Chain A
């Protein structure tokens, strides 16, 4: 069994067969592993693994079982969804957690949170997790209570949330659509299981800024399941032997830790700047000062001294200025007359009373990107020099770009990240397959990208998992997940072996250019039902 997949690929490339027959076969095999209600145990092969991808919604929840030293080792990675998205699926978050508990007998060896976003943590509630035991909790270094940089990032983060909530409040009346979009982004940061509306955000946001968000509560619940302090993981520092399965080694590739950031006060704006993964950026303080001031004059960000400015509500006291203001900016309806050729000077459409607040959407996006880039990125290696499972969290460009910053020390030798990633056989796609969360490029490029993954003899087995509910994302939120270009690239690279939360296993089909042999080999290892997909990875 162990060597089957690579060999199958080598032969199969010679002939092609129509894909339709494969589809039929697949549907025949679509037996749910869990029909009776009592969860089937995950039985990974010695030295191998089974990955259970839960169809929880637009969000991540994975249960990994590694062939352990004495018994299987269970690793939980994330547990969350965007509220509203499970409605497009046939199971609920309650079903997901119940299955996790049944499969693991209420004992998870390691629980990992990649980053603190709603769609990765909100299903972790006191009610659902009560009585569950976790041996170790792993977070990224950004959660460390001691680390100076982590503390600084958290402080800025709180300020940002506060300013954005205030901006969303002020926009709710004048520009509801905009406020709605911002709410959806703020909701990611503060969490909870209710759908986002500006009103709810207003209430939850204030608490969130003080550190009392639902996301924080979820993190707390998870901490409470373990008797040990969480382990905060730094990238490139060491190769971690998985407790209970010594042959499995874990490489942390992100989030980047850059001490220079401590000295660097420059808030690089936006994601995707090349040097650092985490911007540590704050929302322009003068913008924040103005939103928090809520329409009163004289905040700290005011650019001119009082003698040059007239408060808007006092304009009427100065007759000349008042006349000028009414004629050239206007306060009333400011409509164009039906028989005019020229627009009146005081037209309403030209006023800019709320335009400065529109920057909030960009700032909210930047904050979301920052949190995504703070994702813990882990590569699980099945035995030294063996196959690799890459869980990229929601890493975006900045995080990706730092992965190959340095090699890992391995005893006397070193493990190069490029070589490590070349052995990837399973890739948990970053951020619902969005723009910038799976980099494209070629093998030669210096920045890690899709072409670095699953190379050589691992190419024939390379498989991807996308956590996305397209219909939900496309709807109210207006998110383009997964991005068509990325999905297409993955389908091609994986020969069709791409799991997606909202796509039934029976509907998965071989890519036109992939071989029947590799597809059949894949079918041997994969199964799925309404609650999850199971995928078995045999060791080399």
Chain B
């Protein structure tokens, strides 16, 4: 059935050490369960270079090493292109005895292709590593031979999926803290979306299927069926499993699952819920593919649109496949780009839709191919919409601009010179107030540096720290205060604030997490750039609402008292450094003082919203799980 079992993946040139170990990835093939190390492959070996690397082989671990490297690099490439910056992995945190924490740069994501003897593969946020498992097949059916080994590291989709988890963690380290029913589901769904559309975007992959189904992809949902098979191939269903359709047990035929506006209401398990998001994105893809190929069918059938019996012309098959790959690529870029347009904590599917629409609008205001419309339509059919949204129009879904947010909040709109002050170097005294997360002091002066895109990733990482400090000062102490208020941040202004709100040096803490640069090529060919800033605040939350009230009223909170959970709020700001314009303000639904939002989270975590993984441990244990993805992926089946 599998039409294509071999594809050549082109990876940009870089100097590689044995492993392979490059700038982003290090493959270390140790298998502790087998008490073995597998010899690292040297892809710079001239013999291998000449033949496009090792030929596919199940039995040679060096091919496995090459495979994980190539697919992971491809996924990283898609991210860098969509986001317009170098990819960084999430920082390592160390907690010194005196309290607080320091952050360290992690240059490479580590990949262990044979780490587990288990039907599992996962990204470990604490080790900054991907762990792949292998297992013998025990099923005896027409597709499988019992006793043969299945290697999860040989599945394109699993590698892309896990790499995406790591990349998303690098952008949003808080997206694996389940504070509402969408957070974990989003991580899974997003990883599946990237894996799926990356797979479709390889040239030629779809040609075979298109020829066989006579191009009628959209109607017969062959793409959806394929999507599922990709997921199933390595013995792991993933979110795709049930979203797009299922075999009807009576007829034995595969039937697509029609969109349902109420599906989300009664689906809480992260994979099942994530599957709905994948289905919604897939629906958008189908709609655009269908619209864009109608003309080809008309041309091929002299205007009737009805194909004659028999095989379709190979040229038509090729053109249709190209079209499908192109749409897949654009959808992939849209989906990745949107992650810069999400709130820093507590993402919901509705937020993500707003992110997709806004990000695409900012880069391509026209929407001449109807991508945004297709997304809105498909998401509406699946009942995904932002909470409290008044309309589902493209315009209504867009996140507010800085000026709009300030008007809505009733604060004075910032003047140009106030924005300019962001780029003035801090005095030594001011710089000291800002505090660094790096153990070594940074070079002076602390100044906002928006132009440091190229070059060493360590330098980029260091500049983020400097920039965070400069921005913090501007927002909290300087001219940016009005923007902070408009973005839903709570600053010290003499009013009484609950003791549970986290403070640093006696003041309400405002944590600037990252200031990253995004450079994008618009549809018209020009480039646009943004600074993406994420800011959060936190507050101690308690299991018991009465305790919460009491603690809120205290004068101070003991330093050791961190509460039963952390309630976090915040915003993402997109600032255009060229026009000195606050392009977008993306805030969480409530601010740090919002007791209703706090209560909503408390109920979710402790009163049945977050479902336990098993019959023993409490669901809240997942909040602090060391390997949050290990368990999640096991449940994927």
Contacts and interface: CB of A to CB of B under 8 A. Distances in A.
A310 interface: yes
A290 B36 CA distance: 12
Contact of B34 (A185, A301, A325): A301
B440 interface: yes
A308 interface: yes
B110 A310 contact: no
Contacts of B127: 349-352
A297 B34 contact: yes
B211 to A, nearest CB: 34
Contacts of B119: 269, 284
Interface in B100-125: 104-108, 110, 112, 114-120, 124
Interface in A318-369: 321, 324-325, 328-329, 336, 338-343, 345, 347, 349-356, 358-359, 362, 365, 368-369
A134 B436 CA distance: 74
B128 interface: yes
Interface string B601-637: 0000011100110111111010000010011001101
B33 interface: yes
Contact of B36 (A297, A336, A338, A481): A297
Contact of B35 (A286, A295, A305, A480): A295
Given A336-B94, A352-B115, A484-B606, A304 B440 contact: no
A343 B91 CA distance: 9
A308 B30 contact: no
Contacts of A345: 26, 108
Given A290-B33, A309-B37, A341-B458, A484 B151 contact: no
Nearest to B112: A352
Contact of A372 (B19, B107, B126, B615): B615
Interface string B62-101: 1000000000000000000000000000001010000000
B424 interface: no
Contact of B33 (A287, A349, A436): A287
Interface in A211-239: none
Contact of A356 (B18, B21, B32): B32
Interface stretch (B130-138, B182-190, B368-376, B525-533): B130-138
A351 B139 CA distance: 33
B615 A336 contact: no
Given A287-B117, A340-B104, A479-B616, A356 B440 contact: no
A369 B614 contact: yes
B347 to A, nearest CB: 25
A311 B30 CA distance: 10
B118 A310 contact: no
Nearest to B108: A345
Contact of B616 (A266, A341, A480): A480
Interface string A280-314: 00001111001001011101011111001111110
Contacts of B135: 284, 286-287
B30 A309 contact: no
A341 B36 contact: no
B40 to A, nearest CB: 6
B92 A435 contact: no
A74 to B, nearest CB: 31
B506 interface: no
A310 B608 contact: no
A303 B616 contact: no
B405 interface: no
B386 interface: no
Given A342-B104, A352-B115, A308 B19 contact: no
A329 to B, nearest CB: 5
B615 A369 contact: yes
Given A285-B136, A302-B36, A480 B104 contact: no
Contacts of A342: 104-107, 458
B104 A352 contact: no
B263 interface: no
Nearest to A184: B616
Interface string A68-107: 0000000000000000000000000000000000000000
Interface residues of B, number: 77
A315 B180 CA distance: 47
A270 interface: yes
B440 A339 contact: yes
A431 interface: yes
A444 interface: no
A295 to B, nearest CB: 6
Contacts of B40: 321, 324
Contact of B131 (A286, A293, A355, A369): A355
B21 A355 contact: no
B617 A304 contact: no
Interface string B467-497: 0000000000000000000000000000000
B170 to A, nearest CB: 14
Nearest to B116: A356
A483 interface: yes
A267 interface: yes
B149 interface: yes
A265 interface: yes
Contacts of B44: none
Among B37, B127, B439, B606, max chain A CB count under 10 A is at B37
Interface string B509-552: 00000000000000000000000000000000000000000000
B35 A343 contact: no
A434 interface: yes
A435 B615 contact: yes
B173 to A, nearest CB: 16
A269 B634 contact: yes
Contacts of B607: 484-485
Contacts of A437: 615
Contacts of A338: 439
A143 B167 CA distance: 51
Contact of A321 (B39, B112, B612): B39
Interface in B578-619: 606-608, 611-612, 614-619
B433 interface: no
A301 B619 contact: no
Contacts of B18: 324
Among B28, B92, B117, B129, max chain A CB count under 10 A is at B117
B27 to A, nearest CB: 9
B438 interface: yes
Contacts of A328: 19, 21, 26, 28
Interface string A242-278: 0000000000000000000000011101110000000
B146 interface: yes
B59 interface: yes
B30 A303 contact: no
Nearest to B621: A478
B34 A302 contact: yes
B628 to A, nearest CB: 13
A266 B138 contact: yes
Contacts of B28: 328-329
B449 interface: no
Contacts of A286: 117, 134-136, 149
B462 interface: yes
A259 to B, nearest CB: 17
Nearest to B136: A286
B620 to A, nearest CB: 8
Given A290-B34, A362-B631, A350 B110 contact: yes
19 contacts: A265-B146, A284-B117, A284-B135, A287-B135, A303-B34, A303-B134, A308-B39, A310-B36, A325-B37, A328-B19, A340-B439, A349-B126, A352-B115, A352-B131, A356-B117, A358-B630, A362-B634, A435-B615, A483-B608
9 nearest CB pairs, A to B? A485-B608, A480-B618, A309-B36, A290-B33, A435-B612, A434-B615, A297-B35, A287-B117, A342-B105
Interface of A: 185, 265-267, 269-271, 284-287, 290, 293, 295-297, 299, 301-305, 308-313, 315, 321, 324-325, 328-329, 336, 338-343, 345, 347, 349-356, 358-359, 362, 365, 368-369, 372, 396, 431, 434-437, 477-481, 483-485
